[in-house]
């Protein structure tokens, strides 16, 4: 997530125009869970500014700042003074629905872990269970023993703190280990769910989350819509937007407040525009996330792309989709359909073309006429 | 979702219940009501917000009672469907949060036995059911009644003949008891109680609780007593409202990007500035006090630079008592609260002089908005910290909008230029965020310079008033003596005060006055003063001749006051925090000055 987390914690990355964490809060509140403790660290101010005391979300939120980012068990231990006898633990960066939380709550009272099938078990903790009873969780196994993974969502009670304290003495601070040792002492349920649980491992995964989020996008029309605008499907247009004549909007789309969509611009599914985004005349955007304050000049094409907050591109940006090999932390990942991954505050001149799968890290500056491929480092200047 | 609060004690219950109810308003609010047991049972309810209820409430006196805020599930929001509900005898009152699943069959049975129902709610069946079991002890009737009920509930019940007693019960809806000396409380949620006690105990599913001024007893549905340990709540109401931030001021500084978005919202694309028209304006006078006056001074430079109209700024307390020349400028009056006494007086004076007036205020419907021809709201959201932060930035943004509008109407800005400047305004939330991301660096500088007794701030042109504001922030909250000067004025006196003990904060962004600023910084560092420069990102020479640099993003210089101000606010905040000052309530100061 590097290019998009320079000033934003991962949980605050927007999909369907709401931070991922907001879906988690919504699913909890839907199930009547309103007393929430957020254990925060990196760029916690962004989370606190958005959620405040939780009132606007129907919840009451207390914040605990994790003094050192040691691990998930340590995070839970830091929240201990605010937790009652039993509680549930969720990861703020995994999108879940109310069904998922309902299944989790069904098992409250008995220690349990929510599990799901995954195509990439190697990237997660793999779960071994006997029937419905957890035996152990193995982090990122070399050998694939099962495709059942730990979602990082648990229903627990205060017994877990003994395990956490014991492991901490050995310098281990991860919650799956604590839950595994708890399972040796008492029954821990491994619960499968039909509910939604989506993790974004890589930036292009965000497009999947975005499409899922937009399925339930509300139909809202606010702001000024000039004559001869075509709107089809589920389209949410935020307050203070101006949609210029000739624009063609095909839902599902979420357009945040204060956006300006230029004359004859085309927005195709499933696209989210954050706050204050400006799309120039004759520009086409499809299946993409444009975060807050993005400016796209006229006559541009942006497909299957993730565009970070504050990115500005002058006329004629070409970020068309295609099969691409994306390099993340030195490892290459073939992605069948991908456009550009443009990090926060990237500045792009006129007539720049970006090959599918190109990653431009935050605050890079690209001069007019450049052709980009591969990975551009943060703050770089491309001539 | 509903909220309930109950009280049994020695004080008058009503104000306590209403206050608690307001803390629960987040749980839903389409109607509200209260029941008080004093000399008999008194019930009052209505639809609408709690404030609505409060406005119409007759004086209800009694030391026992409960209140309820409702979010309709069965029956539309209306007075009759609002809680409390009473039984046929008018002696039992009940409020309920949750859903009674078998209310239809209960209702049929009870109606067959002659009970009269008045509402469409599921709740009313429960109060009649309790009535049917009543035999002198209300908690016994409640216990028996709950055996017949399916569903989720948190209920509160009082009986006219049993004063000093509130009965509660819960199943799958929250209920918490607050413990005080000679008084006890019940509520759906802790914030309703926190003002009165931090000692609470939680009622569990299928339990009945009785509170009296003297004590609390809990039993299960079979009538067996239950013992429960109390817990101490370690957070305060104010902590909750600060949303994890140490001070309101810091919280509000971090809300700057949002305040900018809100102030620009819907105004930028077509430059629709709340119907403000700039035709026939030959000059502008900006009038305000305090921080708003500094915004006014920045406004003078902005309007002259962008719209090319002569502009001047004046303190409201001076303007009011000066002789007006014959010209008739547009008078722009700025006040965050819209209640500043001198600014209101100045608005009246401007009208007396026959000038058109435009107010820039943050508080909707404030007095200023009634004294001026037109108002432009800054929409920065409520500001609690006494030191203005996000509202100052929002005032600057409003002034940019006005200048752009004037530039457009008067033709001083071409279409392309205007378009580019609109994009520059769109980039301001990011520019503020850039500085917020540097909070750690700014904290380190605060540590380095925060023990100074005196500080100087210097700047030129549009950033001269930003230096004034930076110094004011430092004075207000850290109590360090801080003075700001137009950098060109140093040689005319202040240089005599500059020593190696007096850090100088210099605003030296890349603008047309940068070269001059460089020589001014040279003047002070030659006299041994440490210099902290606010400079533009990418300026490589600046770090070579000053002690420290706080960078702001490379944006067109006329907009630089926004990120520079955020940097200076954070700097003042961090210094004050290190010095352990009462940041949100500095000594001798008030948020809005309503006296002259």
Segments making up each domain of chain B, as ranges: 3-238, 242-426, 436-596
User: Do residue B243 and residue A52 have CB atoms under 8 angstroms apart?
Assistant: yes
Tell whether the model's pLDDT for residue B239 goes beyond 90: no
- Among candidates A312, A381, A341, A344, which has minimal Cα distance to A43? A344
Shared fold status for A2-201 and A213-382: no
Question: What are the tokens at B28?
Answer: 């839903």
> What pLDDT is recorded for position B58?
85
* B359-379 average pLDDT score: 91
> What pLDDT is recorded for position A108?
66
B407-464: pLDDT as tens digits: 999 889 999 999 999 999 999 999 999 999 999 999 999 999 999 999 999 999 999 9
Order of all β-strands in the sheet with A341-342: A220-221, A235-237, A253-255, A271-273, A289-290, A306-307, A341-342, A359-360, A375-376
Tell whether the model's pLDDT for residue B582 goes beyond 90: no
- Among candidates B591, B469, B570, B589, which has minimal Cα distance to B245? B570
Query: Is residue B244 within 8 angstroms of chain A, CB to CB?
Result: yes
Catalytic residue among B144, B448, B516, B591: B591
Query: What's the predicted TM-score (pTM) here?
Result: 0.82
Residues of A in contact with B423 (CB under 8 A): 278, 295, 312
Q: Tell me how close the Cα of A102 comes to any Cα of chain B, in angstroms.
A: 14
- Lowest mean pLDDT, pick from A241-255, B189-203, B228-242, B273-287: B228-242
Q: Where are the beta strands (DSSP E) in B137-280?
A: 151-159, 166-171, 176-180, 183-187, 199-202, 207-211, 216-220, 225-226, 231-232
User: Do residue A276 and residue B426 have CB atoms under 8 angstroms apart?
Assistant: yes
- Residue B303, classified by CB atoms within 10 Å of its CB into exposed (0-12), middle (13-18) or buried (19+), is buried
- Residue A12, classified by CB atoms within 10 Å of its CB into exposed (0-12), middle (13-18) or buried (19+), is buried
* B65-69 average pLDDT score: 93
Query: Is residue B585 within 8 angstroms of chain A, CB to CB?
Result: no
Q: Tell me how close the Cα of A44 comes to any Cα of chain B, in angstroms.
A: 9
Which residue of chain B is at minimal alpha-carbon distance from A344?
Answer: B430
Tell whether the model's pLDDT for residue B218 goes beyond 90: yes
Domain ranges for chain A: 2-201, 213-382
| pLDDT band for position B382 (cuts 50, 70, 90) | confident
> What pLDDT is recorded for position B274?
76
Query: Is residue A224 within 8 angstroms of chain B, CB to CB?
Result: yes
* B523-530 average pLDDT score: 93
The count of CB pairs under 8 A between chains A and B is 103
Which residues, listed in sequence order, are joined to residue B481 by a DSSP beta bridge? B454
| pLDDT band for position B380 (cuts 50, 70, 90) | very high
Interface of B with A in 421-460 (CB under 8 A): 423, 426-427, 429-430, 433-434, 436-437, 439
The answer to whether residues A338 and A322 touch, using CB atoms and an 8 Å cutoff, is: yes
CATH of domain A2-201: 3.90.550.10
| pLDDT band for position B594 (cuts 50, 70, 90) | low
- The matching CATH number, chosen from 2.60.120.380, 3.40.50.10490, 3.60.21.10, 3.30.300.30, for B436-596 is 3.40.50.10490
| pLDDT band for position B366 (cuts 50, 70, 90) | confident
> What pLDDT is recorded for position B26?
63
Residues of A in contact with B241 (CB under 8 A): 53
| pLDDT band for position A165 (cuts 50, 70, 90) | very high
User: Do residue A239 and residue B265 have CB atoms under 8 angstroms apart?
Assistant: yes
B104-127: pLDDT as tens digits: 999 999 999 999 999 888 899 999
Query: Which position has the higher pLDDT, B542 or B590?
Result: B542
- Phi then psi dihedrals of residue A60, to 5 deg: -120, 120
Class of domain A213-382: mainly beta
| pLDDT band for position B29 (cuts 50, 70, 90) | low
* A125-153 average pLDDT score: 88
Shared fold status for B3-238 and B436-596: no
Question: What are the tokens at B21?
Answer: 């109810």
Class of domain B3-238: alpha beta
> What pLDDT is recorded for position B73?
64
Element (H, E) at A198: strand A197-199
Tell whether the model's pLDDT for residue A54 goes beyond 80: yes
User: Do residue A51 and residue B258 have CB atoms under 8 angstroms apart?
Assistant: no
- Phi then psi dihedrals of residue B68, to 5 deg: -145, 140
| pLDDT band for position B1 (cuts 50, 70, 90) | low
User: Do residue A53 and residue B240 have CB atoms under 8 angstroms apart?
Assistant: yes
Contacts with B310 (C-beta within 8 Å, 6 or more apart), sequence order: B282, B283, B284, B304
- Phi then psi dihedrals of residue B527, to 5 deg: -95, 15
* A16-34 average pLDDT score: 94
Residues of B in contact with A309 (CB under 8 A): 430, 433
The answer to whether residues B424 and B555 touch, using CB atoms and an 8 Å cutoff, is: yes
Element (H, E) at B348: helix B341-352
In this prediction the ipTM stands at 0.92
> What pLDDT is recorded for position B78?
81
- The matching CATH number, chosen from 3.20.20.70, 3.40.50.10490, 1.25.40.10, 3.30.470.20, for B242-426 is 3.40.50.10490
> What pLDDT is recorded for position B331?
96
Tell whether the model's pLDDT for residue B28 goes beyond 70: no
The mean of the pLDDT values for chain B is 91
> What pLDDT is recorded for position A241?
97
Compute the distance between CA of residue A110 and CA of residue A73 in angstroms, rounded to an integer. Answer: 19
User: Is-catalytic flag, B289?
Assistant: no
The DSSP secondary-structure symbol of A234 reads S
B149-177: pLDDT as tens digits: 998 899 999 999 999 999 999 987 889 99
A66-96: pLDDT as tens digits: 988 889 999 999 999 888 888 999 999 999 9
User: Is-catalytic flag, B355?
Assistant: no
The mean of the pLDDT values for chain A is 93
The shortest CB-CB distance from B241 to any of A53, A240, A293 is to A53
The shortest CB-CB distance from B427 to any of A61, A239, A293 is to A293
User: Do residue A276 and residue B429 have CB atoms under 8 angstroms apart?
Assistant: yes
Which residue of chain B is at minimal alpha-carbon distance from A256?
Answer: B265
The DSSP secondary-structure symbol of A179 reads H
A290-343: pLDDT as tens digits: 999 999 999 999 999 999 999 999 999 999 999 999 988 788 899 999 999 999
User: How do strand A253-255 and strand A347-348 relate by DSSP bridges?
Assistant: unpaired
B319-346: pLDDT as tens digits: 988 887 777 899 999 999 898 889 999 9
B85-100: pLDDT as tens digits: 999 999 999 999 888 8
User: Do residue B270 and residue A62 have CB atoms under 8 angstroms apart?
Assistant: no
Residues of A in contact with B266 (CB under 8 A): 223-224, 239-241, 257-258
| pLDDT band for position B57 (cuts 50, 70, 90) | confident
User: Do residue B243 and residue A240 have CB atoms under 8 angstroms apart?
Assistant: no
């Amino acid at each position: 997530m590097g290019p998009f987390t320079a000033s934003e914690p991962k949980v605050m990355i927007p999909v369907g125009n709401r931070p991922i964490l907001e879906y988690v809060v919504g699913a909890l509140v839907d199930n009547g869970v309103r007393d929430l403790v957020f254990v925060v660290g990196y760029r916690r101010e962004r989370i606190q500014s958005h959620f405040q005391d939780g009132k606007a979300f129907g919840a009451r939120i207390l914040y605990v700042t994790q003094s050192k980012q040691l691990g998930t068990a340590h995070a839970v231990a830091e929240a201990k003074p605010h937790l009652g006898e039993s509680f549930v633990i969720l990861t703020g960066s995994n999108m879940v629905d109310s069904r998922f939380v309902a299944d989790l709550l069904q098992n409250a009272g008995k220690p349990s872990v929510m599990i799901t099938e995954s195509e990439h078990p190697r990237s997660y903790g793999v779960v071994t269970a006997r029937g419905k009873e957890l035996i152990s969780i193995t982090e990122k196994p070399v050998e694939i023993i099962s495709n059942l993974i730990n979602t990082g969502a648990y229903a627990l009670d205060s017994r877990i703190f003994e395990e956490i304290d014991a492991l901490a003495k050995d310098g281990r601070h991860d919650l799956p280990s604590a839950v595994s040792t708890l399972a040796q002492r008492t029954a821990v349920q491994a619960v499968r769910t039909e509910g939604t649980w989506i993790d974004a491992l890589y930036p292009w995964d965000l497009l999947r989350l975005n499409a899922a989020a937009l399925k339930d996008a509300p139909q809202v029309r606010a702001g000024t819509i000039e004559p001869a605008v075509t709107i089809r499907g589920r389209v949410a247009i935020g307050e203070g937007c101006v949609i210029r004549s000739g624009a063609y909007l095909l839902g599902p789309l979420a357009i945040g407040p204060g956006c300006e969509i230029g004359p004859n611009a085309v927005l195709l599914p499933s696209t989210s525009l954050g706050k204050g985004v400006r799309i120039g005349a004759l520009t086409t955007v499809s299946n993409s996330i444009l975060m807050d304050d993005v400016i796209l000049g006229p006559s541009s094409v942006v497909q299957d792309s993730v565009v970070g907050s504050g990115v500005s591109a002058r006329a004629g940006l070409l970020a068309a989709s295609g099969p691409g090999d994306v390099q993340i932390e030195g490892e290459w990942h073939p992605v069948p359909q991908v456009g550009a991954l443009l990090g926060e505050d990237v500045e792009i001149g006129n007539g720049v073309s970006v090959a599918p799968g190109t990653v431009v890290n935050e605050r890079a500056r690209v001069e007019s006429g450049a052709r980009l491929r591969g990975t551009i480092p943060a703050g770089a200047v491309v001539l | 979702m509903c909220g309930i609060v109950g009280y049994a004690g020695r004080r008058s219950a009503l104000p306590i219940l209403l206050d608690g109810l307001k803390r629960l308003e987040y749980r839903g609010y389409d109607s509200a009501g209260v029941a008080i047991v004093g000399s008999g049972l008194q019930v009052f309810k209505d639809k609408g917000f709690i404030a609505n209820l409060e406005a119409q409430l007759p004086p209800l006196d009694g030391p026992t009672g409960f209140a309820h805020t409702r979010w309709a599930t069965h029956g539309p929001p209306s007075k009759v469907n609002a809680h409390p509900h009473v039984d046929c005898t008018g002696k039992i009152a009940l409020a309920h949060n949750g859903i009674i699943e078998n209310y239809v069959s209960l209702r049929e049975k009870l109606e067959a036995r002659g009970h009269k129902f008045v509402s469409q709610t599921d709740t009313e069946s429960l109060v009649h059911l309790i009535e049917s079991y009543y035999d002198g002890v209300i908690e016994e009737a409640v216990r028996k009644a709950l055996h017949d009920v399916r569903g989720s509930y948190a209920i509160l019940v009082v009986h006219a003949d049993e004063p000093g007693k509130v009965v509660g019960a819960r199943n799958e809806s929250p209920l918490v008891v607050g413990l005080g000396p000679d008084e006890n409380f019940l509520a759906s949620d802790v914030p309703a109680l926190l003002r009165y006690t931090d000692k609470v105990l939680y009622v569990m599913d299928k339990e009945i609780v009785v509170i009296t001024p003297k004590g609390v007893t809990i039993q299960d549905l079979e009538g067996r007593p239950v013992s429960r340990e109390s817990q101490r709540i370690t957070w305060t109401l104010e902590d909750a409202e600060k949303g994890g931030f140490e001070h309101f001021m810091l919280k509000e500084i971090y809300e700057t990007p949002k305040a900018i978005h809100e102030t620009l919202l819907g105004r930028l694309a077509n430059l629709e500035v709340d119907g403000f028209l700039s035709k026939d304006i030959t000059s502008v006078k900006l009038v305000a006090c305090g921080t708003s006056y500094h915004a006014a001074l920045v406004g003078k430079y902005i309007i002259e630079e962008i719209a090319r109209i002569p502009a001047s700024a004046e303190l409201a307390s001076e303007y009011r008592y000066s002789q007006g020349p014959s010209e008739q400028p547009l008078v722009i009056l700025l006040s965050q609260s819209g209640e500043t006494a001198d600014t209101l007086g100045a608005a009246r004076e401007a009208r007396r002089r026959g000038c058109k007036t435009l107010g820039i205020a943050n508080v909707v419907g404030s007095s200023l908005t009634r004294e001026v021809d037109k108002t432009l709201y800054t929409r920065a959201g409520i500001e609690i910290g006494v030191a203005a932060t996000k509202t100052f930035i929002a005032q600057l943004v409003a002034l940019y909008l006005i200048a752009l509008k004037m530039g457009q109407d008067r033709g001083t800005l071409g279409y392309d230029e205007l378009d580019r400047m609109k994009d520059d305004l769109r980039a301001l939330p990011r520019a503020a965020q850039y500085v917020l991301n540097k909070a750690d660096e700014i904290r380190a500088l605060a540590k380095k310079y925060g023990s100074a007794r005196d500080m100087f701030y210097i700047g030129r042109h549009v950033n001269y008033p930003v230096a004034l504001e930076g110094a004011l922030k430092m004075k207000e909250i850290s109590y360090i003596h801080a003075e700001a000067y137009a950098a060109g004025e140093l040689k005319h006196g202040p240089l005599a005060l500059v020593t190696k003990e007096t850090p100088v904060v210099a605003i030296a962004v890349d603008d047309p006055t940068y070269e001059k600023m460089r020589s001014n910084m040279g003047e002070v560092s030659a006299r041994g003063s440490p210099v902290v420069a606010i400079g533009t990102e990418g300026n490589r020479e600046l770090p070579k001749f000053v002690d420290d640099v706080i960078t702001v993003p490379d944006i067109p210089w006329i907009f630089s006051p926004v990120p520079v101000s955020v940097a200076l606010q954070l700097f003042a905040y961090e210094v004050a925090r290190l010095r352990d000052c009462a940041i949100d309530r500095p000594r001798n100061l008030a948020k809005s000055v309503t006296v002259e």
